[in-house]
Amino acid sequence: MSLLEVDNVSIRYGDNTVVDDVSFSIDRGESVGLVGESGSGKSQTALSILGLLSRQARFSGRIRFDDVELDKATEEQLNRVRARRIGMVFQDPMQALNPYLRVGRQLRAVLRCHELATAAECDARVMEMLERVGLPDAQRQFRAYPHQLSGGMRQRVMLASALIAGPDLLIADEPTTALDVTVQAQILELLEEIRDDTALLLITHDLGIVAGHCERMLVLESGRLVESGPTTAVFAAPQHAHTRALLAAVPRIDRVDIPPPATGQSILGVDGASVSYRERGKQRLQAVKGVNMSLRCGETIAVVGESGSGKSSLVRAMLGLVPMESGRVVYAGTPLEGPVERRAREHRRDLQLVFQDPASALNPQMRVRNIVSEPLLVHEPGLSARARLKRVNAALEQVGLADEYLLRYPHELSGGQAQRVAIARALILGPKVLFCDEAVAALDVSVRQQVLDLLQRVQADTGLSIIFISHDLAVVRSISHRVLVLYMGRLLEVADNAALFSHPRHPYTSALIDAVPVPDPVVAPKKAPLRGEVPSLLNPPPGCVFHPRCEHAREVCSATLPPMRDIAGTRVACHRADEIDLSR
Amino acid sequence: MSVLGYSTVRISGGILVAIAIIALVGPWMSPHDYASTDFDNLLLPPTLSGGHPFGSDSLGRDLFVRTMMGVRVTLLVAIVASIVSLVIGVAYGAVAGFVGGRTDAAMMRMVDTLYALPFIFFVILLLVAFERNFLLIFVAIGAVNWLDMARIVRGQTLSLREREFVEAARLTGVSTPRIIVRHIAPNLIGIVIVYLTLTIPQAILVESFLSYLGLGVQEPQTSLGALVNDGVNHMEGASWALLIPAGLLAVILMSFNFLGDGLRDFFDSRHTS
Amino acid sequence: MLRYTLLRILGAIPTLLLVIAIAFMMVHAAPGGPFDDDRALPPAIEENIKRYYHLDEPLPKQFLRYLSGLVRGDLGPSYVHVDYTVNELIADAFPRSLKIGALAMALALLAGLGAGTLAALRHDSWLDRVVMAISMTGISIPVFVFAPILVLLFAVKLNWLPAGWTSSSGVSRYLLPVVTLALPQIAYIARLTRASMIDVLQRDFIRTARAQGLGTMNVVWLHALKPAMLPVLSYMGPAIAAILTGSIVVEQIFGIGGLGHFFVNGALNRDYTVVLGIVVFYAALIVFLNLVVDILYGAIDPRVRYR
């Protein structure tokens, strides 16, 4: 008999069916991946297992866990199953842990409520669990509040709280989505290592994670289970069209068609850019330090880094949205100085930005037509209303939106449509350089691919140059000509796309590439993930900022800042770049 | 859904409009006026036929006309309060929020300080020290009234200023005045209207409280607070003299509160799918 | 935490000074002194009185004198109750006001938090609607309307409770004043609690706690109550001010010789030192209680403390 059996489960909110007749089962000790895009009903399915749906939800179907009929269970019966038999890990540990309670108390509450330990034993048990999930200095973290921990540490605590009562099944709902890619790799490895014979239901949108960590997988599409089977079989021969589409949409970091290097003239250059912010008190937070780059006509440069790498600050400083501490920006031979308000009109026309979150980037009180036409009012005030409308229509057409969207408000658009509107606004003046700040990070894979295709098409048509900020190396691999790797505000490596991924010169670049989950279950197992997390920017390590996490570090690395040097066309800032071979 | 689709808005708004119309037209239709005494008809109970629908007071003055005069004062206070919190509160809050930084910190520190004062005590001090004066009451109401609005508007402006659509507008070269008019202001209107409706009852309370203590409007002028005070003195024999102005005051306050709640629901539901 | 507390205390001092200065200026800028009554005093006597009370000195000097008195805890003599100092008057009247005010505050917190939490837990049920309807009524009816109506009903018509303070003794005489004073605050706190509890109960960490099988009682008690109380805590400052204001009316209607009563009488009799003394005393009280609220806020929300 299987451990968990989900039979004909449907969940409705009013007339809206979010989960439609889903059935599956999980055996003891088995790991199962539940995959789908946003709105596919994967989280709702998971919540229904533990009876955690909101009161508006209407549930039908049967859920049996071992010998308990969960769908018919009373709240008390459910409470005996929760934590003790089924543990759950949620997506964002910042939100999912109580910010007002010390970490130790939150874990102790689980033991005490289930009467699994006497008050005297509790603390020792909690401490032991915190050590098992790899929390350094567990004694101190026991008394810490969640906000005092780093993202990765918080997720370790979350994992500890889900496993402390020794459950038979662990449900993990997007457990690494809010984390940086190197930390994601650590948490996934920990998950494997620590769960022993606990069964795992792993909910994710990332096919790479499923490929690496699940024996079986289930694919949901708008509430319906469209495919299930052993992971290797599904990847080898997907049966359903949606699974095939999903697999096709994921850029494969290991085998993707990369664009050929661009050969245009330099259009935009940055020299020694530094940005710092004033923190409370007199401390200065050095977000960007001494970054150089140069962008060619028709080229796409990707700026890659984890959170705190300074990639957004760099771009914002170039555009004059935040002040630059030192350094110069040169556009088409003229220096750009001061805040954006004081820059020449044509420069503001030529440099445009697309934001990560289209919901925040579009004024909720304006219709699409007014949003897209606003730049025209500023830069081409002489235009007649009819001519303006024509231009707006053309811009919308360019991004693949019909004129039926003209009168809509942003909240009436889907995420992908809203991002297209934002791109149309950025393109309507015919800019020369487009900055994209995580412009596809908030989008589902299928929509993401369409937006990436759109950008590449516009580039081919108009010779647009693009600076593409991203944390996602697979996306970067598929779209960019050259790549800049930033870490703690420092430029560590600049290389052509092909060279960077086959012959990374910096150990950090190499670790980043290794950390990306490859959506293929048969690819050889990964190397050990990078240890540690990004240190505080208020207190950067001396010498090479990466040395505390670097397995190749020597004494010199902690003593002196490595200079930027040229090795076979790649610029790299590492003392040992010529000694170590990281190529793959 | 339009704002009138909300039953709370429709009903409370309707009640307020009806009360306002009666208060404006009523005294003019009545044969009595608010000041003339009639010692043959003291403390009459309400009757429709006797020409005193709300009865008469201890000086034989018609309570309907006097109550309506009181309502007029209350509504005048509501209008003054709105103007004060709109002009001072919105401007102060918007400047603090838009400029930000130290200016914002200093401006908000001042609001916090003012907030912590026992205002009514100061107002009473002021009213006693100086001539009792209708204008002073409005000054007093104004002094308290804009604080809430300033806080709310400042918070909203601060968060709007950081929103990416404002950055996008700066980037394309949209001028600062245009950013304020096109991007900041339209996103403030909802919350301003809601808090306008919710600060009005506070102002009405202050005025009626002062009038109740005899520090507000002076005889033979009257206001709902003064009428309640008068009613208290005769409540054992003539409970209507207390219950009618008290009830009317409560209905007006409740309508404004419900109106604010309904408007908040309306603006919350808009622009979220 | 200690640093945070010290910073808060330091921050409160200028506020207090400002309040004292404003109140002092207001009183002394007023046209007409306490002694220009209808019956004019002979100039020599008036001179004497003024000298006795140091009213002949320049204003800044008077202010400094007043401040130095304050530091020693001396609020000066009463001009009207000739044999009393302001300290004595406050010492006599404040305990009565304090008892009623504190009881009202306690009642408001208990009933408000309870009703609000209950309504939030049964969100959208009939119970929720009833609590909300009652509290909407509560915030819409001023104290000076409530008090006489309750007296009319319970003392005059039903004769269950005493109407006045002095006409009886024992617990029953507290009932009406405390309830009237507390009612609007109960209503307001219930609304605040409900709104913030509904918000907190939707937060992710509550879902985590539920997923851990802690049970509703534990979830609310251990996880939800603290954050849900934060807005209520912020409201404590205005609530205290509202109760002090309300006490003026309540003490008048029930004939309680408390501070509010002395304040109104002092104001009407132009007994400036008393009026000034009470304003300063209340301002200090409010500033002090706001300080306590601030520190409590820091104790509950660790993110504020470490900022």
pLDDT per residue as tens digits for the range A265-287: 889 999 999 999 887 666 788 89
Query: Which of B134, B121, B126 is CA-nearest to residue B222?
Result: B134
Sort out which chain C residues have CB atoms less than 8 A from A165's CB and list them.
212
For residue B242 the two structure tokens come to 């207390």
Query: Which of A538, A447, A434 is CA-nearest to residue A37?
Result: A447
Q: Tell me, what CATH number does B254's domain have?
A: 1.10.3720.10
Whether the predicted pLDDT of C306 surpasses 70 = no
Backbone angles phi, psi at A50, to 5 degrees: -95, 10
Are the beta carbons of A50 and C300 separated by less than 8 Å? no
For residue B271 the two structure tokens come to 């622009």
Q: Residue window 208-227, chain B: list those with CB within 8 Å of chain A.
A: none
Share of chain B above pLDDT 70, in %: 93
Q: Which of B67, B125, B198, B256 to mutate to test the interface with C (most CBs of C within 10 A)?
A: B125
Q: How many domains does one find in chain B?
A: 1
b/e code A366-400 from CB counts within 10 Å (16+ = b): bbbbebbbbbbebbeeeeeeeebbebbbebbebbb
Residue B31 inside a domain? The answer is no
| Interface ipTM | 0.84
Residue B224 inside a domain? The answer is yes
- Answer whether C137's CB lies under 8 Å from B254's CB: yes
Are the beta carbons of A82 and C226 separated by less than 8 Å? no
Coil, helix or strand at residue A413: coil
Nearest Cα residue in chain A from C224: A98
Alpha-carbon span A515 to B190, nearest angstrom: 47
Alpha-carbon span A545 to A537, nearest angstrom: 10
- Answer whether A235's CB lies under 8 Å from A523's CB: no
Q: pLDDT tens-digit profile of B96-115?
A: 988 888 888 888 878 877 77
Instruction: Supply angle C-alpha B94, B100, B106, rounded to 5.
Output: 95
Residue B52 inside a domain? The answer is no
Whether the predicted pLDDT of B259 surpasses 50 = yes
Query: Which of C242, C152, A202, A294 is CA-nearest to residue B241?
Result: C152
- The pLDDT, as a whole number, for residue B273 is 40
* Residues pairing with A276 in the sheet: A286
Are the beta carbons of B126 and C19 separated by less than 8 Å? no
- Answer whether A195's CB lies under 8 Å from A163's CB: yes
Residue B36 inside a domain? The answer is no
Q: pLDDT tens-digit profile of C167-178?
A: 666 777 888 899
Are the beta carbons of B172 and A429 separated by less than 8 Å? yes
Alpha-carbon span C286 to C294, nearest angstrom: 12
- Answer whether A284's CB lies under 8 Å from A276's CB: yes
Alpha-carbon span C174 to C171, nearest angstrom: 6
| Residue type for position C144 | F
> Chain A to chain B, count of Cβ pairs less than 8 Å apart?
66
Residue B56 inside a domain? The answer is no
Residue B217 inside a domain? The answer is yes
Nearest Cα residue in chain C from B233: C148
Q: pLDDT tens-digit profile of C126-185?
A: 999 999 989 988 888 888 888 888 888 887 777 777 766 666 667 778 888 999 999 999
Nearest Cα residue in chain A from B190: A365
Q: Which of A321, A374, A428, A429 to mutate to test the interface with B (most CBs of B within 10 A)?
A: A374
Q: Does the CB of A283 have a partner CB in chain C at under 8 Å? A: no
In the sheet with A86-89, reading across from the earlier edge strand, the strands are A86-89, A169-173, A199-204, A31-35, A216-221, A224-230
Residue B51 inside a domain? The answer is no
Query: Would you tell me how many other CB atoms lie within 10 Å of the CB of residue A581?
Result: 8
Average pLDDT of the segment spanning C33-56 = 68
Q: What is the pLDDT along chain A (584 residues), one digit of tens a residue?
A: 899 999 999 999 988 999 999 999 999 999 999 999 888 999 999 999 999 998 889 999 999 999 899 999 999 999 999 999 999 999 888 889 999 999 999 999 999 989 888 888 899 999 999 998 988 888 888 999 998 888 889 999 999 999 999 999 999 999 998 888 888 989 998 998 888 889 999 999 999 899 989 999 999 999 999 999 999 999 999 999 999 998 888 877 766 667 777 777 889 999 999 999 887 666 788 899 999 999 999 999 999 998 889 999 999 999 999 999 999 999 998 999 888 888 888 899 999 999 988 888 999 989 999 999 999 999 999 899 999 999 999 999 988 888 889 999 998 888 889 999 999 999 999 999 999 999 988 888 888 888 898 999 999 889 899 999 998 888 898 889 999 999 999 999 999 988 998 899 999 999 998 888 888 888 756 677 888 888 888 888 999 999 999 989 999 999 999 999 999 889 999 999 888 888 87
Residue B117 inside a domain? The answer is yes
Alpha-carbon span C145 to B239, nearest angstrom: 12
- The pLDDT, as a whole number, for residue C307 is 45
- The pLDDT, as a whole number, for residue C167 is 65
- Answer whether A405's CB lies under 8 Å from A421's CB: yes
Domain span including residue B265: 3-26+62-272
Please spell the DSSP secondary structure of B151-220, one letter per residue.
HHHHHHHHHHHHSHHHHHHHHHT--HHHIIIIIIHHHHHHHHHHHHHHHHHHHHHHHHHHHHTT-SSPTT
Coil, helix or strand at residue A322: coil
Q: Does the CB of A352 have a partner CB in chain B at under 8 Å? A: yes
